[in-house]
Amino acid sequence: QSVLTQPPSASETPGQRVTISCSGSTSNIGSNSVYWFQQLPGTAPKLLIYTNNQRPSGVPDRFSGSKSGTSASLAIGGLRSEDEADYYCAAWDGSLSAWVFGGGTKLTVL
Amino acid sequence: QVQLVESGGGVVQPGRSLRLSCAGTGLSFSSYGMHWVRQAPGKGLEWVAGISYDGSNKYYADSVKGRFTVSRDNSKNTVYLQMNSLRDEDTAVYYCANGRHGSSPQFDIWGQGTLVTVSS
């Protein structure tokens, strides 16, 4: 059971927009920055979003992050087949003194 | 080219020890905090441990506290994960990733991972 809660799966058709949620608590998302990662099969995770809504250089602006209270969301617009991957959220948890990850969401582009 | 390369994985019996290494190139390694993150087969990501740039602060997941030790040798641009009393559930691909470095994002640089299999 992960500290951060994500839906196990999501799906949408190419060109559309999909949103993935991440729910936590006051000790993690509620008081610290949220990170989002994309992991393609057989590869290392890739940072998509940091500090709730910032994109590292090279990440397309189709990817956006937001946070409200103890929840965060990752939105992907203009879906492409190559966006089919696992997506994870993460945040520092001040009560645990540890980083915590969501269980991951498998995105299928139909 | 900025790169992190893990090594030291392999097959080990339950209760035994293993030490992983993560070598950094192309970055000011001694000014970066570092993390270890693992992924069990078919499962999600789990943060394991973190260490500050100078090794003065170390953090561990509850699942490995008291068994794993993170350390670093900045003269060798390398961070280590000493894993003792290994259990079946420690079987995973272990990744190292960058930690805090000024205003740069954490977890922006990842290694390719090294597989640890705990099995009798």
Nearest CA in chain A to B105: A50
Max Cα–Cα distance, chain A, nearest Å: 40
Residues in chain B whose beta carbon is closer than 8 A to a beta carbon of chain A?
A: 35, 37, 44-47, 50, 59-62, 95, 97, 105-108, 110-113
Contacts of B47 in chain A (CB under 8 A): 90, 98-101
B6-47 confidence digits (pLDDT tens): 999 999 999 999 999 999 999 999 999 999 999 999 999 999
Return mean pLDDT, chain B.
97
Residues contacting A18, CB < 8 A, separation 6+: A10, A11, A12, A75, A76, A79, A107
- Closest by Cα among B52, B89, B39 to B67: B89
B51-64 confidence digits (pLDDT tens): 999 999 999 999 99
Contact call for B105 and A50, based on CB within 8 A: yes
Nearest to A45 among B45, B50, B60 (CB): B45
